[in-house]
Amino acid sequence: MESRLPILLHGFCFISLVWQISYALDSISAGQNITDGQTIVSAGGNFELGFFSPGSSNSRYVGIWYKKISAGRVVWVANRENPLNDSSGVLKLTPQGVLTLLNSTNGVVWSSNASRSAQNPIAQLLDSANFVVKEGNDNNLDDAIWQSFDHPSNSFLAGIKFGIDRAKGLDRYLTSWKTADDPSPGDFTYRLDPSGYPQLILRNRSVVQFRSGPWNGLRFSGFPQLRPNPVYSFGFVFNQNEIYYYFNILNSSVPSMLVLNENGIAQRFSWVDRTHGWIVYSSAQTDDCDSYALCGGNGNCNIATSPKCMCLTGFLPKYPSDWEFGDWSNGCVRRTELDCEGRDKFLKYTQVKVPDTRFSWFNENMNLRECERTCLRNCSCTAYSNLDIRGQGSGCLLWFGDLMDIRQFNENGQDIYVRMAASEVGGSSGNPGARKRTGIIVGTVLSTVLLLGIAVVFTKYRRDGWIFGVSHQSHSEDLDLPLFDLATIVNATNNFSEDNKLGEGGFGAVYKGVLRNGQEIAVKRLSENSRQGQVEFKNEVVYIAKLQHRNLIKILGCCMEVDEMMLIYEFLPNRSLDCFIFDEEKGVSLDWRERFTIINGIASGLLYLHRDSRLRIIHRDLKAENILLDNEMNPKISDFGLARSFGGNESEANTKRVVGTYGYMSPEYAIHGLYSIKSDVFSFGVLVLEIVSGKRNRGFSHPDSHLSLLGYAWTLFRDGQSMELVDPSIASTLNSMEVLRSIHVSLLCVQQNPRDRPEMSSVVTMLVSDSTLPHPKQPGFFSEESFSEASSSSGGPRQIYSANQMTISSVQPR
């Protein structure tokens, strides 16, 4: 939705400058410097480069800003994460073609890290605002040694290739400023996601806030406002080496740029004149329906209706009571299951933003009819559409599983064909207001078939005392868990080949598999002689099938055929957290920013389990091996085999069979068998200390004492030396404030008395706020001896079981 709103000064970042001296030239050569107070100006006078202080800040940065118009509007910052504290900074170009920013002690504050050395380098500020290091007079930007356009800040300018260059290893994306006075990277990123069919995704840390939808030949599916206009042209490039979006200014007197502001809003600004200044030309997010997955899976958001969310035709709210209160997040489920024998039909929806394509497959050479047949042959395929909607349309885009983040438009939407049971289609249309099918005879037949199916399944599995892994107490609840046939899993895992085995636990083995559509899966196969494994298997089905959160592993379905019991999960390529933090070589690749994102993601997942999920889950085996990492290194809590749920006002429980992993168990649980949400909080605290230090709590031995990792961390904290705990491999990437706060919060989590530990709601807040934290008391299991002494003196008959070190991993289909 376009708007022409005057922008107040508060929305901009004007800079306070010390007295500036502008070079007559637009460049510097090797050996030349730019000191604080000096600038260079592009040949046409459009942009200026030098030192500045944003807003009311006294810190100094090197940046580029508009000069002719909107003087001081910053579009790029070099040293975002490392400001200078005074005006002693010097920007140099070395003879090798590397830009370096030095402080008063000649320490390197920022460097351009050129890809190759040069013989006669020049650093030139172009009229496009691109700051380029090149070889002499070579004006071919493809040959540039380094350019600022490859490293954007929060502004997307004409000429930037917004996306990925696989050949050069570049990923060009926007990161918001932290505040209007602080250009350091904020919480929001806007980048091209290459998973499945590419689309632009805006995230708040790891949480998806908005997505553009895929490029359909004319525009991104979720941008109906993106159309030919007098201000700028635009396009999308997608080939083997590059995937990027770009725009070009049509009239040089009307500058335009897209900015990701500190509040996570992506807006396009256009310059009018000095009287009107910048105006908002368009915005990525226009209304509530642009909030990612507002209506959950298989829901359709229409801002013009009340309520905004409706289920797709043939679908019903998964939890009707939630919908009555305006909570649509759990989405919709099918009223009638698919036939999968070639008799299913497709229902056409028009003028929509097509679903999230991170879980999609595509073929550029198919026509729409071939696309339909391909989808129909694959039981997991739930919808299809054209890749390119120009003319008669071409290409094929397929979706698998739930259809996430659909919304309705009045114009410039796209067509999609959703797979339905034949009985649900008839003469219906997927458009809003279409006639709903209500057949008494059909309903009776379907009910009869459903009852017969339940009877067959019940007869088959009654000998085990449970159906689909659900106890008698809970079998009446709808799990919405798809069934895979055994032949499909056998083919996917190459008949459970040893080469496909990912690992083995007390329940059995886990295998990697590849479905016919190319989707990679992880298959947990129950061992024949594992009684313990059956209990875990039942728990997985009961709990994880009902849990949906970005930081929890996603279950795709199960297989129960002949004497086989298997769970099918998404496959995560980066496996588990322990593979990185406890490995000296791999640990280097997991820098502090990624580790802090992982810490916050785990905290968010636990908060969901403890407070926001329907069941209030206690995980009971939270450890590094059970934190899986997706292709973007986002954490997902896995393995719910030992989990338990609390209902009503229940807050803690007691057991004589203590299960879990030594090193992560809380004192009251390991010694007395008492578990509660505070048990998981303790495990979380241990995990944070392991992430920070790169050391395992279990088996940690300090050379000068018998302290556990917890005891060592606490003594360092007490003595004001917490930074000594940090893994040396990430020392160069640290944010000391985040590190110290993470250690402080973790020590609050591992205190001896569970009443002293915070709940996860407080933990999530403490990790990201600047509030004053309470002083932690001595942690549980302060020394290694304390555990064995307490265990031997407890006198109870409890059995301690250490869960096997098992991992499952996952990837989205492409």
- Return the active site residues: 621
Indicate the SS3 state at residue 277: coil
User: What's the half-sphere exposure (Cβ side, CA atoms, 13 Å) at 640?
Assistant: 27
Question: What separation in angstroms does the CA of 125 have from each of 46, 101, 130, 149, 318?
Answer: 10, 16, 6, 11, 56
CB 408 within 8 A of CB 352: yes
Burial 298-321 (b: 16+ CB within 10 A, else e): bbbbbbeeeebbbbbbbbebbbee
Which helix H or strand E contains 555, and what residues bound it? strand 555-561
Question: What separation in angstroms does the CA of 601 have from each of 327, 337, 738?
Answer: 22, 34, 15
CB 434 within 8 A of CB 240: no
Q: Which amino acid is at 366?
A: M
The residue behind tokens 């990492």 is: 629
Q: Which amino acid is at 234?
A: F
Judge whether 695 is annotated as a binding position.
no
Q: Is the sign of the CA dihedral 472, 476, 478, 483 positive or negative?
A: positive
CB 626 within 8 A of CB 551: no
Q: How many CB atoms lie within 10 A of CB 753?
A: 11
What does the H/E/C string look like for 163-191? EEECCCCEECCEEEEEECCEEEEEEEEEE
Dist. CA 209–CA 128, nearest whole Å? 30
For the record, the structure tokens of 70 come out as: 């909107």
Which residues, 6+ apart, have CB-to-CB distance to 757 below 8 Å?
A: 678, 681, 682, 685, 748, 749, 750, 751
Phi, psi of 718, deg, nearest 5: -60, -35
- Whether omega for the bond prior to residue 121 falls within 30 degrees of 0, making it cis, is no
Pairing of strands 508-514, 242-249: unpaired
Pairing of strands 38-41, 21-22: parallel
Indicate the SS3 state at residue 567: strand
Q: How many CB atoms lie within 10 A of CB 191?
A: 19
Q: Calculate the CA 307 to chain-centre distance.
A: 28
Beta strands in 126-239 (DSSP E): 131-135, 146-147, 155-157, 162-165, 170-171, 174-179, 182-193, 199-204, 207-214, 232-238
Question: What separation in angstroms does the CA of 326 have from each of 294, 301, 330, 402, 484?
Answer: 10, 13, 11, 20, 33
Question: What separation in angstroms does the CA of 421 have from each of 349, 370, 404, 465, 559?
Answer: 16, 20, 19, 31, 21
The residue behind tokens 């073929």 is: 363
Q: Which amino acid is at 179?
A: T
Indicate the SS3 state at residue 498: helix
Q: Burial, 455: exposed, middle or buried (Cβ in 10 Å; 0-12, 13-18, 19+)? A: exposed
Region of residue 340 (left: phi > 0; alpha: psi -120 to 50; beta: else): left
Q: CA nearest 317: which of 302, 303, 300, 305?
A: 300
Q: List the binding residues for ATP.
A: 524
Residues annotated as binding site? 524
